[in-house]
Structure 1
Amino acid sequence: MRKPPQPPRSQAGPAAWRRDRLGVAVRAAQQCGDVWQLAPGVYVAATAGPCETVLRRTTYEYETTPGTFLPAKRPDGSVPGPTERAHGHAARMRALRPKAVAARIGDIAPGAAQFAADWPLGQDLSVLPRAQRVLAGIGSRYLFSGDAERLQAAGARLAEAREQIIHSWPLPPWVPTPARRFLARQQAVFDAELRAVIDRRRTTGRLGDDLLGQMLRPSSQYGLLPDAAIIDSLTGLIVATAETPTRAVGWILLTFARHPRVADRVAAEAGALPADPHAVTGAHLDRLRYTQAVVREVLRLYPPNWLLARRATAPAELGGYPVEPDTTVLVCPYTAHRDPAQHPDPLQLRPERWLGESGSLVVPGVFLPFSTGPRACEGTAMALAELTLIAAETARRYHLSEPPGPVPSHRIATFGALTPVGLRLRATPRS
């Protein structure tokens, strides 16, 4: 029997891939086309068509890899099933859709202004730790409002535990490594803290207008969510609210340092924001069109989630090649965003590509920094609002520059996410 055709194999081996993932991905896409083979049973979707196919067919022919966190348990030891998880997703989205985020811009803007206002001047600042603290605070307040401070500390320890898991040596899931034991302890702490908040809100009847409050309200379609389903939903979400946006803030501010004219135009547009960040509304955000275009263009060039793993669960076809069950497909937004068929002059920073003739935002080609399809990032609208406001508030206050001297301002890490590790920038007040 004739063997079905395989995608062309990359000329680089596993060692080259470990040394320079971005370089190998770009060269392989140029040499092999839409789909290429990294290793037996491992394909890479490199351009818009196959990337979107895999992401939109996730839950049909493809599935995501298991998450970091353990499922929350009911008192009887059982865990939420697919139906309850789907209901939990629907409940979360009541607070995460663009209109809901726009209505709560006044809760996001003060954190963005705080990030910009407190920069120490005349010295190099380590950007990512600061961004992570601020974004974790914004996310916790959006999720938990008056209970944010109590749950933010537990969420920070969850994020630390997740980092340890990501960077630990891969072993079978049943091996009780120190990183896994630490994760289990931090999940137990967060679980207990959140259960106490849920119990108090249910008992008093003051459910709140935050995201947790939305999840505590019964739906006409599925009634009341059990506590385990709520906790299962929010364990990962409290980490996600800071994780990817932190990396994106780094890339945006590095872009300001390297492209001062872009930063100047953002600063001019941001001058229309109210001096009091609590007065910022969704209408103000809508008017930051060039700033939003800059954010999208930076995410096109530097998508933090630059490589997304999927596993085929059913026979499928991708780029003209058969995909057998259990094949791993790596979706590569980094190379898809550099496809000249989708984005002319793909290596150039051109925020204007996101603006139509009227100045309104447009989508000129594939845009996958938050994935797409059934497993797209739920917090996309919130993340874009945060990034736009942090960019605007920072640019209108400061000129940014990379530290002088021979030492690089950062190094690029590609394991897990695309990150400007150790990024340091210097701020000079605008006159």
Structure 2
Amino acid sequence: MGRINEPPRPPRLPRGGYAAWSRDRLALACRGAAECGDVWLLEPGVCVATAAGPCEAVLRRAQDFPKAPSPLFPPLRRPGGGPAPTPEDRARAHAARMRGLRPHAVAARIGEIAPQAAGFPGRWPPGQDIEVLPLVRHALAEIGVRYLFSEDAPALLPLAAQLFLAREVLARPAHWVWPRWIPTPAQRFRTRQQVAFTDALRPVVDRRRSSGRLGEDMLGQMLRPSSRHGPLPPEAVLDTLPGITVATFETPTRAAGWILLHLARHPGAADRVAAEADLLPADPATTTAAHLDGLRYTQALVREVLRLYPPSWLLTRRAPQRTRLADYTVEAASTVLVCPYTAHRDAREYREPDRFRPERWLDDPGSPGEPGAFLSFGTGPHGCEGAALAMAMLTLLTAHTARHHRLSEPAGPEPSHQVTTFEGLATAGLRLRAVPRG
């Protein structure tokens, strides 16, 4: 305990500690929330926030709990030791990138997103039990890469797939953690794919700038000069794009796996989504933000699945200085693990928190009360940049899939998927069957 008149330190997790965490992190997070309360100590220097209030507080208090800089695709070394972008350049690049990702920017381009989403059901072989995540990933990559790069997307899509593969190789659990300065085979593979993607993108940037036709996509937004600073340095543009490219389809693919599984397990909900989707225009390219807003139940279903199974179920922050969290003392240099999975199942925030009830997100008279904290896209200064794009992609993909297919899990004793938690909450190996609606 702390000194007199000082908040106590978080209670230590009983029975198992870090060894049990290594075996089954999701189960231990749930047990810790039940046995130890809102905040608890996994081991000295590692706190876990499992209730909604402390989780939201950590994410919003970015000065007290900053996000450690650990980019998946760090800036490349320049040939000849050329100047790297300054911190101000990187901040400007972030602001320029956000111009193309904000909700109003996404809303203006729904007609470009909808055709790829509408085409997804036609790629699903009917009447067969198939592994669906590779199919979903390819469809979402087409949407995401086209959103970022418009007419230049076809040439970049294969390279984006290789970036994703590099990310998968780096994310695999390893028995031995090498120091970051050692160039492991996985890191070298990552660098090769990053260089290939950047080399393909550089002439696109040069061509757009020299022609003056910058484009209306996200890359075009980044190339527009600001009235105060002028154009961004090319490296500030290029450094940021490999990571955001993979992000447009990696996490949404995990989310889509859970959504499709729920369409299979809840046919009544799937029928309601299909009925909404029947009101979408026959030509997907004419879909507008108003059509998307009309998919109220579909959006509620997507949010409910994201609540129950947030793809990024565990977020990491640091506490550089001693601070207070939920009436406890967090020591300086501690790691704080934020768990949206347990926060979303906090009975103080949600009625019947473990039950799948999309209606809770609607304003209908029968809805079960106003929902609480929603952290599937994070919150605060480091919330997900692409939240609006992800919601649009997932809502349209869900609507068109339910409109054309009834989904089911394979018959037999084998599970349809395995739950993995290492890099995110995913339905690994998910197998489903699609039967065309009559």
TM (norm. structure 1) is: 0.96
Cα distance in 1 between the residues matched to 2:366 and 2:400:
21
Measure, in 1, the Cα distance between the counterparts of 2:223 and 2:428.
38
Whole-Å separation in 1 of the counterparts to 2:339 and 2:44: 18
Q: Does 1:103 align with 2:108?
A: yes
1:75-224 correspondence to structure 2 within 5 Å: 76-169=81-174, 170-224=177-231
The correspondence for 1:248, drawn from 251, 255, 273, is 255
Return the match for 2:44 from 34, 40, 44.
40
2:361 counterpart of 1:354: yes
Pair 1:309–1:407, CA change in 2 (3 A): same
For residues 290 and 207 of structure 2, what CA distance do their matches in structure 1 show?
35
**1:8 is matched by which residue type in structure 2?**
P
Aligned CA distance change for structure 1 residues 203 and 359 (closer, same or farther; 3 Å): farther
1:7 corresponding residue in structure 2: 10
Note the C-alpha offset of 1:168. Answer: 4.9
Within 2, Cα distance between the matches of 1:2 and 1:285?
Answer: 53
Aligned equivalents of 1:409, 1:17: Cα separation in 2: 25
Partner residue, 1:31: 35
Q: Give me the whole-angstrom Cα distance separating, in 2, the residues matched to 1:255 and 1:19.
A: 27
**Corresponding residue for 1:49?**
53
Asked if the contact 1:46/1:336 (under 8 Å) is kept, the reply is: yes
- 2-structure distance, mates of 1:320, 1:162: 38
Equivalent residue for 2:332, pick from 319, 325, 329: 325
Q: Is the 8 A contact 1:144 1:211 kept in 2?
A: yes
Assess if the C-alpha contact under 8 Å between 2:173 and 2:422 holds in 1.
no
Letter in 2 for 1:325: A
- Report if aligned partners of 1:293, 1:352 keep a CA contact under 8 Å in 2: yes
Q: Which runs of 5+ in 1 are unaligned?
A: none
1:359, distance to aligned residue in structure 2 (A): 9.8
Please give the secondary structure, in 1, of the residue aligned with 2:419.
strand
Q: Which amino acid aligns with 2:13?
A: S
Question: Residues 257 and 400 of structure 1 are in contact (CA less than 8 Å); yes or no, is this contact kept in structure 2?
Answer: yes
Number of equivalent positions: 431
Task: Give the Å deviation of 1:392.
Answer: 0.4
What secondary structure sits across from 1:63 in the alignment?
coil
Q: Helix, strand or coil for the counterpart of 1:62?
A: coil
**RMSD (Å), alpha carbons:** 1.9
Q: 1:359 to 1:206 in 2, by over 3 A?
A: farther
**Contact residue 289 and residue 359 of structure 1 kept, 8 A:** no
The aligned residue for residue 304 of structure 1 is 311
Is the contact made by 1:168 and 1:179 (CA closer than 8 Å) also made in structure 2? Answer: no
For the residues of structure 1 that align with 2:366 and 2:138, how far apart are their CA atoms? 34
Q: Which runs of 5+ in 2 are unaligned?
A: none
Residue pair 1:59, 1:374 contacting (<8 A) in 2 also: no
State how far apart, in whole Å, the 2-side matches of 1:223 and 1:199 are.
16
One-letter code aligned to 1:200? R
* Percent of aligned pairs with the same amino acid: 60
Q: 1:320, 1:192 → 2: CA distance?
A: 51
Q: Which one of the candidate residues 306, 313, 323 is aligned to 1:316?
A: 323
Quote the residue 1:425 is aligned against. Answer: 432
Query: For residues 297 and 22 of structure 1, what CA distance do their matches in structure 2 show?
Result: 19
Contact residue 10 and residue 330 of structure 2 kept, 8 A: no
CA distance in 2, matches of 1:133, 1:38: 38
Would you say the 8 A contact 2:301–2:358 is kept in 1?
yes
Partners of 2:97 and 2:221 within 8 A in 1: yes
Q: Work out whether residues 10 and 329 of structure 2, in 8 Å CA contact, stay in contact via their aligned partners in 1.
A: no
Deviation at 1:14, TM superposition (A): 2.3
Q: How does 1:360-375 map to 2 (within 5 A)?
A: 364-375=371-382
Correspondence for 2:70: 66
Cα deviation code 1:159-180 (max 9, x no counterpart): 1111111115321101111001
Q: Among 5, 15, 20, which residue is 1:16 paired with?
A: 20
